[in-house]
Homo-oligomer: A and B are copies of this chain.
Amino acid sequence: MNNNDKDNIQNKMKLQFSNRSENESFARVAVAAFIAPLDPTVEELTEIKTAVSEAVSNAIIHAYGENENEMVTVECLIEKDRRVVIIVTDNGIGIEDVELAREPLYTSKPDEERSGMGFTVMESFMDKLEVESTPGVGTRVIMIKKLDLAYEF
């Protein structure tokens, strides 16, 4: 991150929590509360909460298996011009073939009734989705959404 990026950032937070599925709802509520001062529309808020839920669930389901001692990280940056950047990171098993993983309906866990639509939902609900992953090291999902201008009365 260069200095230029730093000047861009207006507010930021970083959240780390145990790898437990009950924290999925915690993560999306926390992100929603963090961006609340931007006064997002209900639609924007729902889209962001859904995308966060997808990325965090993936870390919990795929990255670490059932190991509850591991931690999931969610960062949120509010940049100039109402740009919201959300970064979800795990130090789990990683993804061998990111391109394949991002394909709609691809899942490595059909037996657990995963639909393979997680990345597709993130992509559709956010403006931009980047997935960086190294097998055995971990996965980082970066999502960006520019909020509409709030109406000032």
Contact = CB atoms under 8 A, between A and B. Distances in A.
A15 interface: yes
B15 A15 contact: yes
Contacts of A23: 11, 13, 34
Contact of A15 (B25, B29, B30): B30
Interface residues of A, number: 19
A20 interface: yes
A33 B22 contact: no
A80 interface: no
A25 B32 CA distance: 12
A67 interface: no
Interface in A8-29: 11-18, 20, 22-23, 25-26, 29
A100 interface: no
Contacts of A29: 29-30, 33
B30 A36 contact: no
Given A26-B30, A26-B33, A30-B26, A16 B13 contact: yes
A25 B37 CA distance: 10
5 closest A-B pairs by beta carbon, nearest first, are: A29-B33, A13-B17, A30-B30, A14-B16, A22-B37
22 contacts: A11-B20, A11-B23, A12-B17, A13-B15, A13-B16, A13-B17, A13-B18, A13-B26, A14-B15, A14-B17, A15-B15, A15-B16, A15-B30, A17-B34, A22-B37, A26-B30, A26-B33, A26-B34, A29-B30, A29-B33, A30-B34, A33-B33
